[in-house]
Structures are given as structure tokens and as C-alpha cells.
């Protein structure tokens, strides 16, 4: 989630493409865990893995 | 671990949370608080983890940790001072829906912040396009009322006058809202004061250690419960009937429950993209609904705190009906989509846990909201009215009759209070015959409330469900009865749906219809699905159902092969 320079309003919302949690720009913990995969933003490697496993399960059906 | 101290402290904190709720109930102005009890009070540690909560509204219990943590992302601990009270309702940053206002107050002991007293309550009137906050035709958040980011409504014990003025200028009932907001503050004031005394009695270190033990204890007990459930992936899909904008489109709630040892992951991937109308759930709702479902399936004696939520994870892809993106509308997500999510999770787990799940319940709060100008006083009034439904049959018992949906735990407003506070006469309020799905264990029944308008005009809106898709049965049980909303215009004999009478797109979701003096409104609430083959129901139970009017003689014959005298 990105705030304006003044901090008074939100410019954009960023969510993990898998679990949907907000990812705060400038938050050290969020920045440390966050991953990019296939052009999308994920809150953690765990969510990237979950998304990949889900796709594999779907393909196997 | 000092188990004795832990139990005493846990009970003391839960009692304090209940007492906070009683203060809120007794000092508030709106029927939604002092009759319906649509609120929750709790205590959190300084990380925002819930350490105790009273047994009020489950939707808010599950939502509380995310709400408090979201606020702390924006107002860092170092900026919070003694006497501050923070207010927040933003659905896109941890909130549940626009009416749900969260207040929290820091608990300081010897200059150090130890945690927060928290109260979450449903404010009945929040501005927006319809009186009462539930605009069944909203297509963006801005029509649903005032959105409040985390702000200090009190600073160091003093009212933040500018915030108060801004809040009260944007609602139709400022006097009533003022009273309700003060009641919420009174609740957190009490929580802060009493918790400070508890810290003084036991000492900061002892409480810190004991609370840590308490959260671990809850987590261990929850994991032990989950470990007893067979591992596997449990899928289920249920449908919300429309969004109020496109009446012919249904919306899938897709769940896959992954049970792995002592962990449970609820994956909502495959759910419908977010709707144009206000049925979308926020992440807070999707998370809270998963917690709610798991709490229903596990030992109720596990202390309710963030510890018991640790084994539960939620995957709610953004831009879907279970995790709405800005600026789509969301007010019905917390009342309508939440119970449908819980139902889908219970449906998924019904094979693994037949004794701890149930057939579908009515899964709507009916959300009949209205407002207008009182003829006698000239003052604007507004009401958020919720109604009860039938619950699903279980493997060991019939469904409950006329109980608030699974995420509410609220009471319905008594007829006498309703008539005193608002210009309606309640002409009848009676259970619906044949509304409980047939089964070895019958679904609970909903009821019909018929109201006569006594004001020149009352502006009414609604956000409900189950007018098209009946509550499903389990293990051979039959569907429960549908709900309906009907209007009889003054001087006419026929009853019409809101679609017929006011040219609305949906019968169950609409905004701002003008009910005139002498018009009647009939709210029919849905029943619950049945459980098990109806032919296995005991003859005595069927005979009693017929005698008491729950089942007609015709249905007794049709579903149960029973000939009533």
C-alpha cells in the first residue's frame, strides 16, 4: 500500500496475489519477505510456493 | 507455566470484556447496540494480538486482530500516548465493512504501553446513499458511507473536536451517533482502567509471561483438535444469488480446506471476481469467516485469543468476492457473504466431521434498514434492523429455530421496543410452517414479520439473500425454506416483491424505496437445511412438529410418510 508524499491519502493498494494481504510500501518487514513472480507481487516465498502447488494440482486434475 | 494464575487471569480478562460490552449496551442510543448487541469487546497486546474477548459477535471476534494490526501499521506505537483513543472503519485496510467502527485505547502502566482495550460496533447510520447504511444498489464505496482511516478521536484524554465534527456532519442522525460513539469510548475506557488495575495487582512481568503462556496454551489445544481431523483437501462451492445490480448472475464462493497435521489452510481461489454490487467481502471478513468456521468445529472451551488462530491460514486472492479491491462496494460482505463462507467451509468439512458440522443455515441477517423524518419531532431517525433465520440440521439434533445467522450472535429487537422507537406497528411475528428442511434432523425454521407503516413516509433499503437459492441439506436432508420481502401498498389487497412494486433489479437487494403511510411490509426469513434421510426421523418428533405447527400435515405425509390425525 502506497501513501501519498504527504501521507494524507492512499495512492495505491498492493496486495499479495495469492493470499491477498496488504503489502505496505516502506514497511521493513513487508519489504524483507516480499517476492515477485510472473510479474506479480507476493507477500512471501510461501505464497509463491502455494500458488505454484495450486497450479500443479489443477494441471494434474 | 503457572496454570492456576493463567486460568484466573484469563477468566478475569474475559469477564472484563463482558463488562465492557454491558457498558456499551447500557449507554448506547441505538437498538442495534442496546437490543441487538451487534458489537464485540476485547483486549489486545501491544502487537495487536487478541488476548481475551467477550462472547458477543463472532464476525468481529475473528476480525479484531487484523483490524488492530492494520492500525498499528499506520500509527506506530511510539506515536500513541496515554489517553488516546483510535478510531477506524476502513474496509480496505483491515476493516470488516463500513458500518463496523473499531475503537482502541492504549493501556499504559508506569509510562509503558502494555496493550489495548478494543471495542468494535456496528454504527447504524453512516451516511452514504441510503439511511441505515445498507444500500443494496451501491456500486462504489463512496455510496456506502463515511470511510474513516485510523485517526485519534481522543488525544491524551481530550476529544479531538475536528474529528468529531467531521464524523457527525456526515450522518443523518448525529445525536444518536454521538451517543453510540460515546458508548464505544466508554467501553474502552472501562477496559483500559480495569486492565491497568490488573497490571498493578499482578505486575507487568507476571502478566506478560502469563499472557504468552495463555496464547501458547490456546494454540496447542487448537492444534491438538486439528490433528484429530483426517488430513486431506476438502472442497466445496456455494453461490450468492445476485449482487443487486445484475439479478441473473450468481457468484461462487469456492473453498478448498487443506488439513495438514495441526494446521488448516482455507484457500478461496476459484471464487468469483468481485461483484459490481455490495456483496463483496473484505480480507478481514474472509479471515474472520475462516476463524469462525474453525471455532464452530472445535472444542468451545479453548480460550478465544490470537493463539488459537495461529494454526489457521487464509488464501484470499485479491479482486474476488472474498477480498474486494478499492473502490468496489462491500457492505453486504460482512453480513451476507461471511455466513455463506462459513457454510461452505462447514460443507467442505462435513465428510470429515459429521458430528461437528451442519446443513446450510439461512445465512442472511435480512438487513432491512430504514429512515425518515419523525412526524412528531421533525428529527431524522434511522434503523439497522437484523432478523433471525433457521439453522441447519445436525447429525444429532434439529437446527435452531429463529436464531441470528452464524456470524452475528445478535438478538432481534423486541416488538415493543421496535414500535416505541420507530413508526411501524408489528402486526404479526410468527414462525413459518414447513420452512425447516426435512430430514432425520429437521432444519430450523425462519419467521415472518409483518409491519404497518405509521409515518408519512419511511425510506427503506435491504441487503439480504436466499430469495432464490434455498439452504442445502446434508446426507439426504432436504432444502430449507426461502426468504422473501413483500409489500402491500395501502388500499390494495395483493402483495408484491420489491421488484414488482418499485421496479427494482433484485427482490433481495435494493435501495431507497418510499414506503408510505398505511403500506405494509412483510419480511420472510429463510429456514435451514435438513440433515439425514427424512424417513429416519422419529415418529414422535414428526407428530410433535405437526402439533406445534412447524410442519404441516401435507408435508408430514410427503416427506415423512406420516399421517396426522
B328 Cβ contact partners less than 8 Å away, ≥ 6 residues apart:
B139, B140, B141, B274, B275, B276, B280
Say yes or no for a CB contact (<8 Å) between A24 and B73. yes
Please write the tens of the pLDDT for every residue from B391-400: 999 999 999 9
**pLDDT at B358 > cutoff 80:** yes
- What is the reported pLDDT for B220? 98
Tell me the pTM: 0.97
**How many Å lie between the alpha carbon of A56 and the closest alpha carbon of chain B?**
14
Mean pLDDT of B10-30: 98
Does the beta carbon of A21 lie under 8 angstroms from any beta carbon of chain B?
yes
Nearest chain A Cα distance for residue B34, angstroms: 34
Cβ within 8 Å, pair A18-B315: yes
Contact A15 B323 (CB under 8 A): yes
Nearest CA-CA partner of B102 in B143, B149, B54, B163:
B149
Contact B318 A17 (CB under 8 A): yes
CB B287 within 8 A of CB B63: yes
Q: Which of A12-16, B68-72, B263-267, B282-286 has the lowest mean pLDDT?
A: B68-72
> Could you report the per-residue pLDDT of B34-53, keeping only the tens digit for each?
999 999 999 999 999 999 99
pLDDT score, position B422: 96
Neighbouring-strand partners of residue B52:
B43
Closest C-alpha to B259, from B305, B303, B306, B311: B311
Q: String of b and e for B332-357 (b: at least 16 CB within 10 Å)? A: bbbbbbbbbbbbbbbbbbbebbbebb
Chain B CB contacts of A49 below 8 Å: none
Q: A5 vs chain B: nearest CA distance in angstroms? A: 14
- Please give the pLDDT value at position B308: 97
User: Which is more confident, B443 or B94?
Assistant: B443
Minimum CA–CA partner of A9 in chain B: B149
Angle (CA) B250-B251-B254 rounded to 5° is: 135
What would the pLDDT profile of B118-164 be if each residue is shown by its tens digit?
999 999 999 999 999 999 999 999 999 999 999 999 999 999 999 99
* pLDDT per position as a tens digit, B260-281: 999 999 999 999 999 999 999 9
Query: What totals of helices (H) and strands (E) does chain B contain, helices first?
Result: 13, 20
Q: How many angstroms separate the CA of residue B237 from the nearest CA in chain A? A: 16
Question: What pLDDT, on the 0 to 100 scale, is given for residue B67?
Answer: 86
**Residue in A10, A27, A50 nearest the CB of B315:** A50
Q: Check CB contact under 8 Å for A19 and B313.
A: yes
Residue A44 touches chain B, beta carbons under 8 Å: no
Name the closest residue on chain A to residue B282, using Cα atoms: A20
- DSSP one-letter string for B328-346: S--GGGTTTHHHHHHHHHH
Q: Stretch B328-348: mean pLDDT, rounded?
A: 97
SS3 B458: strand
Instruction: Write the ipTM.
Output: 0.97
Q: Closest chain B residue to A26 measured between Cα atoms?
A: B73
In this prediction, residue B242 carries a pLDDT of 93
Cross-chain residue pair A21–B283, CB shorter than 8 Å: yes
Cβ B264 vs Cβ B219: under 8 Å:
no
Element housing B509 (H / E) = strand B509-516
Tell me what pLDDT residue B500 has: 98
Assess whether pLDDT exceeds 80 at residue B188: yes
Q: Cite the DSSP H helix spans in B252-403.
A: 283-297, 306-309, 337-349
**What percent of chain B stands above pLDDT 70?**
100
The pLDDT of residue B362 is above 90: yes
B148 contact partners, CB below 8 Å, separation of at least 6 = B87, B88, B89, B90, B101, B167
What's the pLDDT at B432?
98
Shortest distance, CA B151 to any CA of chain A (angstroms): 11
Long-range contacts, A24-31 (Cβ 8 Å, 24+) = A24/B73, A25/A1, A27/B73
* Separation between Cα atoms, residue B311 and residue B298, nearest integer Å: 13
Of chain B, the percentage scoring pLDDT greater than 90 comes to 95
Note the pLDDT of residue B61.
Answer: 84
**Higher pLDDT pick, B247 / B494:** B494
Is residue B1 over pLDDT 80? no
Tell me the mean pLDDT in the region B99-103. Answer: 96
What mean pLDDT, rounded, does chain B reach?
Answer: 96
Q: Which residues pair with B106 in a beta bridge?
A: B116
Strand order in the sheet with B380-385: B380-385, B368-373, B457-463, B509-516
Q: pLDDT band for position B543 (50/70/90)?
A: very high
* Residue B565 in this model has a pLDDT that exceeds 90: no
Q: Which of B341, B238, B251, B261 is nearest to B296 (CA)?
A: B341
Decide if B462 contacts B554 (C-beta within 8 A): no
User: Would you call A41 an interface residue with chain B, using a CB distance cutoff of 8 Å?
Assistant: no
CB pairs under 8 A between A and B: 41
Amino acid at each position: 500500500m502506497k501513501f501519498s508524499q504527504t501521507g494524507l491519502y492512499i495512492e495505491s493498494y498492493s496486495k499479495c496475489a495469492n493470499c491477498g494481504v496488504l503489502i505496505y510500501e516502506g514497511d521493513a518487514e513487508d519489504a524483507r519477505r516480499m517476492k515477485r513472480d510472473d510479474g506479480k507481487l507476493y507477500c512471501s516465498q510461501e505464497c509463491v510456493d502455494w500458488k505454484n502447488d495450486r497450479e500443479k494440482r489443477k494441471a494434474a486434475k | 507455566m503457572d496454570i492456576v494464575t493463567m486460568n484466573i487471569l484469563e477468566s478475569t480478562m474475559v469477564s472484563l470484556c463482558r463488562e465492557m460490552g454491558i457498558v456499551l449496551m447500557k449507554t448506547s442510543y441505538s437498538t442495534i447496540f442496546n437490543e441487538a448487541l451487534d458489537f464485540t469487546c476485547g483486549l489486545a497486546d501491544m502487537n495487536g494480538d487478541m488476548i481475551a474477548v467477550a462472547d458477543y459477535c463472532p464476525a468481529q471476534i475473528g476480525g479484531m486482530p487484523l483490524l488492530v494490526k492494520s492500525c498499528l501499521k499506520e500509527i506506530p506505537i511510539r506515536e500513541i500516548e496515554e489517553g488516546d483513543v483510535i478510531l477506524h472503519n476502513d474496509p480496505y485496510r483491515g476493516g470488516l465493512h463500513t458500518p463496523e467502527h473499531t475503537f482502541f485505547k492504549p493501556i499504559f502502566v508506569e509510562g509503558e504501553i502494555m496493550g489495548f482495550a478494543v471495542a468494535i460496533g456496528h454504527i447504524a447510520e453512516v451516511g452514504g446513499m441510503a439511511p441505515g447504511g445498507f444500500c443494496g444498489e451501491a456500486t462504489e464505496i463512496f455510496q456506502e458511507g463515511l470511510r474513516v482511516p485510523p485517526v485519534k478521536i481522543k488525544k491524551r484524554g481530550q476529544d479531538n473536536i475536528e474529528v468529531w465534527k467531521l464524523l457527525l456532519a456526515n450522518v443523518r442522525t448525529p445525536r444518536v451517533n454521538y451517543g453510540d460513539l460515546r458508548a464505544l469510548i466508554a467501553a474502552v475506557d472501562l477496559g483500559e482502567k480495569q486492565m491497568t488495575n490488573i497490571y498493578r495487582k499482578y505486575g507487568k512481568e507476571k502478566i506478560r509471561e502469563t499472557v504468552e503462556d495463555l496464547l501458547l496454551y490456546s494454540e496447542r489445544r487448537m492444534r491438538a483438535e486439528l490433528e484429530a481431523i483426517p488430513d486431506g483437501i476438502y472442497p466445496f462451492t456455494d453461490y450468492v444469488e445476485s449482487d443487486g445490480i445484475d439479478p441473473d448472475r450468481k457468484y461462487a464462493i469456492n473453498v478448498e480446506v487443506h488439513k495438514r497435521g495441526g494446521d488448516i489452510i482455507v484457500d478461496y481461489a476459484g471464487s468469483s471476481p468481485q461483484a459490481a454490487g455490495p456483496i463483496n467481502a473484505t480480507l478481514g471478513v474472509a479471515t474472520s469467516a475462516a476463524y469462525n468456521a474453525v471455532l464452530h468445529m472445535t472444542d468451545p472451551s479453548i480460550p478465544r485469543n490470537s493463539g488459537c488462530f495461529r494454526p489457521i491460514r487464509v488464501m484470499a486472492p485479491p479482486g474476488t468476492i472474498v477480498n474486494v479491491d478499492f473502490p468496489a462496494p462491500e457492505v453486504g460482505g460482512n453480513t451476507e457473504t461471511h455466513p455463506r463462507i462459513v457454510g461452505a467451509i462447514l460443507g467442505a468439512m462435513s465428510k470429515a466431521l459429521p458430528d461437528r458440522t451442519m446443513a446450510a443455515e439461512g445465512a442472511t441477517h435480512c438487513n432491512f434498514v430504514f429512515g425518515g423524518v419523525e412526524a412528531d419531532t421533525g428529527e431524522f431517525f434511522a434503523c439497522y434492523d437484523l432478523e433471525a433465520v433457521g439453522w441447519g440440521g445436525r447429525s444429532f439434533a434439529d437446527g435452531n429455530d429463529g436464531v441470528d445467522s452464524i456470524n452475528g450472535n445478535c438478538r432481534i429487537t423486541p416488538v415493543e421496543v421496535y414500535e416505541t422507537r420507530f413508526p411501524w406497528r408489528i402486526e404479526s411475528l410468527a414462525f413459518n410452517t414447513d420452512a425447516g428442511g426435512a430430514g432425520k434432523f429437521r432444519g430450523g425454521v425462519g419467521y415472518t414479520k409483518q409491519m404497518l407503516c405509521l409515518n408519512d413516509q419511511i425510506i427503506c433499503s435491504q441487503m439480504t439473500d436466499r430469495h432464490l437459492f434455498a439452504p442445502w441439506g446434508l446426507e439426504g436432508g432436504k432444502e430449507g425454506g426461502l426468504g422473501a420481502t413483500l409489500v402491500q401498498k395501502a388500499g390494495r389487497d395483493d402483495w408484491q416483491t420489491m421488484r414488482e412494486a418499485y421496479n427494482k433489479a433484485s427482490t433481495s437487494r435494493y435501495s431507497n424505496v418510499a414506503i408510505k403511510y398505511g403500506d405494509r411490509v412483510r419480511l420472510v426469513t429463510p429456514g435451514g437445511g435438513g440433515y439425514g434421510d427424512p424417513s429416519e426421523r422419529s415418529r414422535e418428533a414428526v407428530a410433535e412438529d405437526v402439533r406445534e405447527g412447524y410442519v404441516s400435515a401435507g408435508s408430514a405425509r410427503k416427506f415423512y410418510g406420516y399421517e396426522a390425525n
